[in-house]
C-alpha cells in the first residue's frame, strides 16, 4: 500500500515539514530546502508522469504531480 497522493494531487507548501528545519551547509533557507525535498519526493513517487512546479514572484508556490499508469 502506498501513501502517495492520488494522481493530479497538489502538494501544499508549509513550514511544518521537519526536513525543512535541518541546517544546510550551502546556506539555503528552510523554505528552499522544503521545496527541494518536496520536488525530490514527488519525483521519487512516480514512475511515469509529470511534476509541474508553479512559480510566482520567483518563489515556488505549488507542486503538481500527475502519474500515468502504462498497461502492456
Encode pLDDT of 32-49 as tens digits: 999 999 999 999 999 999
Q: How many domains does the chain have?
A: 1
In a domain, 32, yes or no: yes
Residue 55: inside a domain: yes
What residues make up the domain containing 15?
10-67
CB burial of residue 42 (10 Å; 0-12, 13-18, 19+): buried
Task: Let me know if residue 48 belongs to a domain.
Answer: yes
Whether the full predicted model's pTM is greater than 0.85, yes or no, is no
pLDDT at 26: 83
Domain membership of residue 72 (yes or no) is no
Residue 2 lies in a domain: no
Report d(CA 29, CA 3) in Å as an integer.
Answer: 27
Residue 27 domain flag: yes
- What was the pLDDT predicted at 20? 46
User: What is the pLDDT, as a whole number, of residue 25?
Assistant: 74
Q: Would residue 35 count as lying in a domain?
A: yes
Residues of the chain with pLDDT under 70: 1-24
Q: With contact defined as beta carbons under 8 Å apart, do 28 and 19 qualify?
A: no
| Residue 70: per-residue pLDDT | 85
Q: Is residue 43 part of a domain?
A: yes
Amino acid at each position: 500500500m502506498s501513501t502517495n497522493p492520488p494522481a493530479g494531487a497538489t502538494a501544499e507548501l508549509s513550514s511544518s515539514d521537519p526536513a525543512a528545519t535541518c541546517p544546510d551547509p550551502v546556506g539555503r533557507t528552510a523554505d528552499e530546502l522544503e521545496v527541494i525535498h518536496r520536488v525530490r519526493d514527488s519525483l521519487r513517487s512516480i514512475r511515469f508522469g509529470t511534476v509541474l512546479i508553479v512559480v510566482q514572484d520567483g518563489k515556488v508556490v505549488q507542486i503538481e504531480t500527475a502519474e500515468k499508469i502504462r498497461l502492456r
